[in-house]
Amino acid sequence: METAGPLSNFNMKLISPWLAWGRQALGLLSPPACPACGRPAGRHGLAMLCAQCCPRIGARPCCQACGQWLAATPMLRISRPVRCRDCRPLRLYFERARSLAPYAQAWRQAILAFKTLPAGDLAYQLAALCSRFIRAGYLTGSWSRIIPVPHRPGRTPHAAHLLAKKLADRLQIKFYPKLRFQRRTAPQHTLPRKIRLKNLRRSMTWKGAPLSGEACLVIDDVYTTGATVNECARVLKAQGAGRVDVLTLARSPGPNSLEQGPGRSN
Ligand SMILES: [Zn+2]
Ligand SMILES: [Zn+2]
């Protein structure tokens, strides 16, 4: 029978510094684990995320407003309408929305892992990718506020909040999480696309100082119909924001998108 009690506690106290040292030494020898999936991260230039989880960030032809990815038609670029078929019927309150990559495959798994347990390490890696996306010029602006999409009452911890905070630190822009839900709403992913806009109407309120002409960057994890970020932008514009841009980690394909993949969230 195992001995338990004061003696075994004493032994653990004695050997734990050695165990910690041993783990550290092994860590130096083995490659770091990908914070999203736990596979060896290796070194491939971008971040500590493994090669599978790290999205390919690059130029893709997209709708100038909502960021929906479109077919590459270089010869017709001049005649292409500014807005795509998905967002043309909608009243958009934001100027531009962009996403790093489609919400599919390993990138989707990485984001789901982050949403389930928004940990500092992964937030840091994802913020680094967002910062790289901005620095590469895929979404440009001189924002004075970074604002996360608010979390729903009773839902913590919140991925968008942590991501926006890390990104604001990196870009040296004021983090200003002053949007709040003022009433309960049905989870967006349970509703058909057409109902999602109605579900969120007048659901948010602003707890900060008025935004006198300031440019704001709204951060969320996944863009699906854009209903959530559009409601955020509506509130910000009502508070005097000059322009509102949106950055999300991923984008679910719209009905007229070329990209195919599963969709959830907002
Ligand atoms: Zn990974
Ligand atoms: Zn569009």
Residues with a beta carbon under 5 angstroms from ion ligand 2: 63, 65-66, 68, 83-84, 87
As given in the structure block, the two tokens for residue 180 are: 């709040």
List pLDDT tens digits, range 73-111: 655 555 555 788 888 888 999 999 999 999 988 999 999
pLDDT given at position 11? 66
Instruction: Mark the ranges of the chain whose per-residue pLDDT is less than 50.
Output: 1-4, 45, 259-266
What domains does the chain contain, in order, with CATH numbers?
74-251 (3.40.50)
* C-alpha closest to that of 161 among 176, 173, 182, 172: 176
Q: Please give the helix or strand (H or E) that residue 13 lies within, else none.
A: helix 6-29
Among the bound ligands, name the one nearest to the CA of residue 125: 1
pLDDT given at position 145? 98
Ligand 1 centre to CA of 42 (Å) is 10
Among the bound ligands, name the one nearest to the CA of residue 63: 2
- Enumerate helices (H) and strands (E) in the chain, giving the number of each: 6, 7
Taking the model in full, what pTM does it have? 0.79
Residue 13 burial (10 A CB sphere; 0-12, 13-18, 19+): exposed
Ligand 2 centre to CA of 126 (Å) is 25
Among the bound ligands, name the one nearest to the CA of residue 52: 1
For residue 62, what are the β-bridge partners? Answer: 69
3-state SS class at 253: coil
Ligand 2 centre to CA of 106 (Å) is 25
Among the bound ligands, name the one nearest to the CA of residue 50: 1
